[in-house]
Amino acid sequence: MFDYPILSLLIWIPILIGLVLILSKNISDNISQLITLLTSFLILVVSINLTQAYDHTTSQLQFIERIEWISGLNIFYYLAVDGISVSLILLTAFINFLIAIYASSENYVKKSSFLGYFLILEGLLIGTFSAFDSILFYIFFESLLIPLFLIIGIWGGANRKYATLKFFLYTLFGSVLMLISIIYLAKISGSFAIQDFYSVNLSFQEEILILLAFLIGFGIKIPMWPVHTWLPDAHVEAPTSGSVILASVLLKVGGYGMIRFMLPVTTDAGIYLSEYMIYLSLIAIIYISFVAYAQEDMKKLIAYSSVAHMGFVTLGIFLVFNLLDSNTSAAIIGLEGAMVQMISHGLISAALFFCIGIIYKHSKSRLLKDNYGVSKFMPIFSFMMIFFLMANSGLPGTSGFVGEFLVITSSLGSSFLFGFLAATSLLLSASYSLKMGKTVLFGDNLKNIQGYTECSFNEKIVLTILIIFILYLGIIPDYLFKIIDQSVIGIVESLSAGKI
């Protein structure tokens, strides 16, 4: 029912406008703010339109755009969308719109190019979520790094060089392995489309190797436990909006990649290795929450907490492997939990990073011991922050709880130990988020830091919108479930069918 190619529009409009913003020298700050605001609003409207038009009764791909691109290697410019990509595109558009509002009140050196990079990042993200040709996916996946590299590199904190370099090389290392396996798969299956990869039959060793390559490639992006050390550094150095987009959407690309590539392609190897991978993500949940508790820097604390919450996503995905033959309904619940956790973590971590940005703006220091008794000066802000901290620790009624609840249920389906270990995150996440709340918000303002003034109008809007959505997803997530339900069932069924 759409005559115009909605997906390409969604991708290329922000990229072009971003380029315009960057390249043109003398755009004044408020004009560039206006342009960014308008474009991100337009993209949000179009993506909402997309979600409405997407009929979530079937699990087939929709809005397919397939044009011959490099005919020699039969690579196609192949865009399409299913339930999972729709929800993630919606998340990207939503978060970018919030950043546009928030960033307009910030003052950065070269504001127009700063905002331009965000628009490019938005376009690329939507591209990654809708690319169904693996090379196109890889190109978008790689090009995500460049804008963020520049955002953190130019507008970052003190030793941003180290952080950006590490972040860039880390993800690059991961994606190189991914490229090898994509090419290898394409060689066997003949075409680069992801659908054809599903029907490729590989020997067991091949499958294990490809699985490991994808695991490392996407594991670094998510970040999973052993390869996560780039995230805290990248967050500490990134400007507020940079770390918001990094935490809320960029980590989901890893999860999305896993669902799109790892699940269907390397099923047997996945089932074989699912025990170890589940232990990996459980370590991520428990160990990282302990580490998060020990942090002094607020941003590092939230960075580690997002690693822990992403641990739930990977747990959900690997449970699909584990439960595929024993109890498919638990597998479906697990995958759905992973998806909901991705969306909700996107919102909550965005909100938390906004709050930290606001506090940082007033007290010019991110250390826990420098910020004291904020609630005395900023009562409304501290109410909102407490709400987000509660959501971060999985308070029911907020979206944080829904994802964790589903993942814990499906992990109990496989074995009680997994469920118990996953459930401990309830306690651990509460301990470190409330520890931060305790020190920063409450307590006597000994140092009497006068710097805190009530947060500005833009910030209040952004935070209230986030509260509304976190509550909405927490109380009636029915609409989100409707969107992702059919495609999740489609994936899990195709897995079990394919396997037998």
Partner 1 sequence: MINIALLLLLTPLIGTLILLYLQNSSKKLTIIISNLSILFSFLLSVYLLILYISSNASTLSKDVLVFADVKIYSLAFGLYIDSLSLVMCTVVTSVSFLVHYYSISYMKDEKSFNRFFIYTNFFTFSMLLIVLSNNFFQLFIGWELVGLSSYLLIGFWTKKNSAIKANYKAFLVNRVGDIGLILGLCLIFISYNTTNYNEVFQLKDTINNTNINIFGYTFNTLSCICLLLFIGAMAKSAQVPLHFWLPDSMEGPTPISALIHAATMVTAGIYMVARLSPLYVLAEDVSLFILYVGSITAFFLGIVALVQNDIKRIIAYSTISQLGYMTAALGASLYSLAIFHLITHAFFKALLFLCAGSIIIKCHHEQDIRKIGGLRRFMPITYMAFLYASLSLIGFPLTSGFYSKETIIDAVGYYGHTIPYTMLLLSIFTTTLYTAKIFSKVFFGESTLHLDSELKNKENDFEMLMPLVVLTIPSVFLGIFIYDSLMLGTLFGTSLAAQELVVSFYNDYVINSLNFFLHSFLTINFLILTSAIIFGYFYYYKKSFVIKTPSFIKNILTEEYGFNIFSSKYIPEFQNFITKYLWRRVDISAIDNGFVNNTSYFLNKISHKVRKVHTGFIYHYSLTIISALIILLLIIGYKN
**C-alpha to C-alpha distance for 398 and 8, rounded to whole angstroms:** 34
Cβ closer to partner 1: 97 or 401? 401
Residue 409 binding partner 1, by CB under 8 A: yes
Q: Please say whether the beta carbons of 167 and 233 come within 8 A.
A: yes
| Nearest to 360, CA basis, from 374, 349, 344, 379 | 374
Q: Which of 205, 444, 450, 497 binds partner 1 (CB under 8 A)?
A: 444
Helix (H, G, I), strand (E, B) or coil at 74: coil
> Applying CB under 8 A, which part among 68-76, 106-114, 420-428, 455-463 lies near partner 1?
420-428
| Nearest to 390, CA basis, from 342, 458, 344 | 344
Cα angle, residue 44 at apex, residues 461 and 340 outer, rounded to 5°? 85
Burial of 12 (0-12, 13-18, 19+ CB in 10 A): middle
With b for 16 or more beta-carbon neighbours within 10 A and e for fewer, the 86-106 pattern comes to bbbbbbbbbbbbbbbbbbbbb
CB of 322 to partner 1, least distance (A): 13
Residue 416 binding partner 1, by CB under 8 A: yes
Q: Please say whether the beta carbons of 384 and 332 come within 8 A.
A: no
User: Hey, which residues between 152 and 181 contact partner 1 (CB under 8 A)?
Assistant: 166, 170
Residue 472 binding partner 1, by CB under 8 A: no
Cβ closer to partner 1: 241 or 371? 371
Between 51 and 90, how does the x/- string for binding to partner 1 read (CB under 8 A)? ----------------------------------------
Please state, as a whole number, how many other Cβ atoms lie within 10 Å of the Cβ of residue 188.
12
User: Hey, which residues between 338 and 397 contact partner 1 (CB under 8 A)?
Assistant: 373, 375-376, 379, 386, 390, 393, 395-397
Q: Which of 19, 42, 423, 471 binds partner 1 (CB under 8 A)?
A: 423
Residue 115 binding partner 1, by CB under 8 A: no
Q: Please say whether the beta carbons of 164 and 154 come within 8 A.
A: no
Cβ closer to partner 1: 477 or 498? 477
Residue 427 binding partner 1, by CB under 8 A: yes
With b for 16 or more beta-carbon neighbours within 10 A and e for fewer, the 454-486 pattern comes to ebeebbeebbebbbebbeebbeebeebbebbbb
CB of 339 to partner 1, least distance (A): 12
Q: Which of 5, 419, 490, 498 binds partner 1 (CB under 8 A)?
A: 419
CB of 443 to partner 1, least distance (A): 6
| Nearest to 249, CA basis, from 410, 99, 74 | 99
Positions in the binding site for partner 1 (CB under 8 A): 166, 170, 226, 229-230, 287, 290-295, 329-330, 332-333, 336, 373, 375-376, 379, 386, 390, 393, 395-397, 401-402, 405, 408-410, 412-413, 416-417, 419-420, 423-424, 426-427, 430-431, 434-435, 438, 441-444, 475-478, 481-482, 485, 489
